[in-house]
Amino acid sequence: MKRLFLFCLTVLFFSLAQAQEKPGTLSVIPHVGVSVANLTDFNWTEGMRLVDHFGSISSNYKPGFTGGVQMEYQATEVFSASAALLYSMQGTKYPDFMVDNEDGTAEGVANLRMDLHYLNVPVMLNAYVLPGLALKTGLQIAFLLDGRLKQESTPVTIDEEGAKTYGETEDKETKWNDLKSFDISIPIGLSYEFENVILDARYNLGITKIHSDYDWRNSFFTFTVGYRFVVN
């Protein structure tokens, strides 16, 4: 009975583990969506004397746009391989804070963010474990297009009683030329397809540092919707 149950379970699995397309099929899949990105170990406020805070402040995930085109080749009924060319807005952001200059003045910092623009090339292996449902992983190579640190800075004067007088806010932007132009990450995700519409969710774990002097690595999610066009 146990062997019969295992046999039936195996037959059921392989009968369900089918892709949407037949083996030998080549598809083009344009897709768009959002990225939700952060940088690991990006301790920008470390060592600063902050007003109304104790220690450093942790960075937050930053939303952005992602989109591009993917080609997928269905090798067997279960497995396919894909490669894509994707534009992705990544980086990180910080909550607002104030730096004490220890001379009766301070600097209010708002909307501090690192804006990173990448051209990503993920190469994926996809396993269709249920009709339309695929688990996927692979390797992603990324090329940095631009990297800038942006913030809104406001000078603050603090009197002896602690009252604050705010000056005029100034937008500041610094282009980072010492970021590495090449990045590698491991994407892990899943997708579901219905009527050629594909919903895709991935987490990308950065394995290379994006800066020579700091242990900053990309860590981001992507959520996209695409449409499959069968070429052959």
DSSP output for 24-86 = T-EEEEEEEEEEEEEEET--TTTT--BTT--S----B-EEEEEEEEEEEEE-SSSEEEEEEEE
The residue whose two tokens read 């993920």 is 122
Which position has the higher pLDDT, 160 or 73?
Answer: 73
**pLDDT mean across residues, the chain:** 88
- Which pLDDT score, from 0 to 100, does residue 55 have? 64
Determine the average pLDDT of the residues in 195-220: 94
* Cross-strand pairs, 27: 72, 230
- Which pLDDT score, from 0 to 100, does residue 47 have? 72
What is the reported pTM? 0.84
